[in-house]
Chains A and B, each alone.
Chain A
Amino acid sequence: MAIRTLEELISGAPAFTGLSPAQLELIAGCGANRHFAAGQRVFTEGEDAESFYLIREGAVALEVDAPGRGPLVIETLHENDVVGWSWLFEPYRWQFDARATVPTATVAFDGACLRGKCEDDHELGYQLMRRFAALLIDRLQATRLQLLDVYGHAGAA
Chain B
Amino acid sequence: MPAPPEGPDPGPMVPVPFAVESKRQETADTWTLELSPAGDGEMPFAPGQFTMLSAFGTGEVPISISGDPDRPGALVHTVRDVGLATAAICRARCGEVLGVRGPFGRPWPVAELVGSDVVVIAGGIGLAPLRPAILSLLARRERYGHLLLLYGGRSPEQLLYMDELQQWRARGLEVAVSVDSAGPEWLGHVGVVPRLVARASFHAGRASALVCGPEVMMRFAVAALGQAGVPAERVHASMERNMQCGIAHCGHCQLGPTLVCRDGPVYRWSELERWLRIREL
Which residues from chain A sit less than 8 Å from chain B, CB to CB? 59, 61, 63, 70-76, 78-79, 99, 101-102, 141-142, 145-146, 148-157
Contacts and interface: CB of A to CB of B under 8 A. Distances in A.
Nearest to A101: B187
Contacts of B194: 142, 145
B124 interface: yes
B111 interface: no
A61 B190 contact: yes
Nearest to A38: B187
Nearest to A77: B191
B214 A72 contact: no
Given A71-B183, A102-B187, A157-B63, A150 B86 contact: no
Contacts of B79: 157
B233 interface: no
A151 B184 contact: no
A43 to B, nearest CB: 16
A72 B183 contact: yes
Interface of B: 61-64, 78-80, 82-83, 86, 123-126, 128-129, 152-154, 158, 178, 180-184, 186-192, 194-195, 199, 212-214, 216-217, 220, 238-240, 265
Contacts of B184: 61, 63, 70-71, 73, 99
B183 A73 contact: yes
24 contacts: A70-B184, A71-B183, A72-B183, A76-B178, A76-B188, A76-B190, A142-B192, A145-B194, A145-B216, A146-B191, A150-B124, A150-B214, A151-B125, A151-B153, A154-B82, A155-B124, A156-B125, A156-B129, A156-B212, A156-B238, A156-B239, A157-B79, A157-B80, A157-B125
Contacts of B181: 72-74, 146
A12 to B, nearest CB: 13
A96 B13 CA distance: 56
Contacts of A151: 123-125, 152-154, 158, 180, 213-214
A73 B265 CA distance: 35
B129 to A, nearest CB: 7
B229 to A, nearest CB: 16
A155 B187 contact: no
A155 B212 CA distance: 10
Q: Which 9 A-B pairs have the closest CB atoms?
A: A151-B154, A151-B124, A150-B214, A156-B240, A154-B82, A76-B190, A73-B190, A145-B192, A73-B182
Given A145-B216, A157-B79, 8 more contacts: A70-B183, A73-B184, A145-B220, A151-B124, A154-B82, A155-B123, A155-B214, A157-B64
A156 B79 CA distance: 9
B63 to A, nearest CB: 5
A156 B64 contact: yes
B86 A157 contact: yes
B189 to A, nearest CB: 5
Given A152-B154, A155-B240, A156-B126, A75 B63 contact: no
A145 B214 CA distance: 11
A142 B220 CA distance: 9
Of listed A59, A63, A75, A149, residue having the most chain B CB within 10 A: A75
Contacts of A145: 192, 194, 216-217, 220
B213 A156 contact: yes
B47 to A, nearest CB: 15
Nearest to B83: A154
A99 B186 CA distance: 12
Contacts of B154: 149, 151-152
A40 to B, nearest CB: 13
A145 B123 CA distance: 12
